[in-house]
Amino acid sequence: MRGFLAASLEVLEVALVTVGAVFLIRTFLVQPFLVSGASMVPNFANGDYLLIDELSYRLRAPTRGEVAVFHYPNDESTFFIKRIIGLPGERVAIRDGQVVVSNAEHPQGETLQEPYLPLATQTNPRPGGKNEYELGPDQYFVLGDNRSASFDSREWGVLTRGEIVGLTRIRLWPPKSFQAFAAPQY
């Protein structure tokens, strides 16, 4: 009986440590995310299973070109995935099918070269929408890679840093599309 009790306590101890470790990892480090919809095609497809890094953005600010998961500003229970285009303090303009970013380094504006998009992709404002967006000190402008089918900052406005959950790091599913991601260099 004494041996059975000792073995049971050991199994319980291992189970508690395991549950605690999984809780800490899911809460502070990595979160799974399932892509729903076509707004990020061709880079992310409906049904892709991703791992989201929740730690990086606690240690540094998001950078241009990274793909982030965030709470939709108009419904915090809904999560979106989009690419970060505009950074705090910048002006983002949509002109002639291109994205132009103005900041201290490029006060006249710089047309973004977006190598992750299919050739000839056009970025257009939404009907009745704005062509320019001034970003405050804690605001980001995000766009889907499938510009014609993305519900993004062109329609609902800018995103605050507090709404960003994490950075897309790895695609786990489907297996033939397994990939680790890094931010593109502009």
The catalytic residues are: 39, 82
Q: Is 156 helix (H, G, I), strand (E, B) or coil?
A: helix
Segments of 49-163 assigned E as strands = 49-53, 67-72, 75-86, 91-95, 98-102, 110-111, 132-134, 139-143, 159-160
**Among the residues of 99-176, which ranges form H helices?**
153-156
The CA distance from 49 to 46, in Å, is 9
The CA distance from 176 to 130, in Å, is 40
The CA-CA-CA angle for residues 26, 30, 33, to 5°, reads 95
The CA distance from 114 to 99, in Å, is 9
What is the DSSP code (8-state) at residue 88?
T
Question: The dihedral of CA 140, 146, 152, 154: what is its sign?
Answer: positive
